């Protein structure tokens, strides 16, 4: 079984994920843009029972564009967001793909809030994420 570990920038907060993610996606919503400092966020969703965390985390909750809320867990030392739990999927933990620091991580297959996509960013309607159309 595949075991992947994600961590914050300083390595203090880590999350180990067993198996393959149930969903890998990118999000173009404005809140993800602000949270990441990038033009979109990439995330992998895992069943809660497939992950273990290690280290100290600080938690912050916010309501998203959909009206649901999510609780973000980040490192109190370096500030990196490593994972979060959404209220719409209480049995899931979502991990920032970049926290895996693994260029072989599987590609996303879902892209959401594309109406907020920067015009120069990847257009999922022209290129199917993860494979050519």
CATH no., domain 3-116: 2.170.150.70
* pLDDT tens readout for residues 21-53: 999 999 998 888 888 889 899 999 999 999 999
Which segments of the chain does DSSP mark as H helices, in order? 30-36
| Structure token digits, residue 45 | 């969703």
d(CA 55, CA 69): 24
| Structure token digits, residue 28 | 């173009």
Top pLDDT among 8 and 32 is at 8
* pLDDT tens readout for residues 41-88: 999 999 999 999 999 999 999 887 778 899 999 999 999 999 999 998
d(CA 46, CA 36): 20
What average pLDDT does this structure show over 125-131? Answer: 49
Whole-prediction pTM value?
0.86
Where are the chain's structural domains? 3-116
Average pLDDT, rounded, for the chain: 89
What average pLDDT does this structure show over 111-131? Answer: 66
């Amino acid at each position: 079984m595949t075991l992947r570990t994600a961590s914050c920038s300083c390595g203090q907060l880590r999350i180990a994920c067993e198996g393959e993610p149930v969903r890998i996606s990118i999000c173009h919503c404005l809140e993800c843009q602000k949270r990441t400092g990038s033009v979109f966020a990439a995330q992998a969703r895992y069943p809660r029972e497939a992950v273990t965390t290690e280290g100290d985390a600080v938690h912050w909750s916010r309501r998203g564009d959909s009206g649901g809320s999510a609780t973000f867990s980040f490192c109190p030392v370096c500030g990196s967001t490593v994972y979060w739990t959404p209220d719409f999927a209480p049995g899931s933990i979502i991990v920032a793909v970049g926290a895996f620091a693994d260029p072989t991580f599987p590609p996303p297959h879902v892209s959401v809030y594309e109406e907020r996509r920067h015009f120069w960013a990847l257009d999922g309607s022209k290129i199917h994420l993860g494979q050519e159309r």
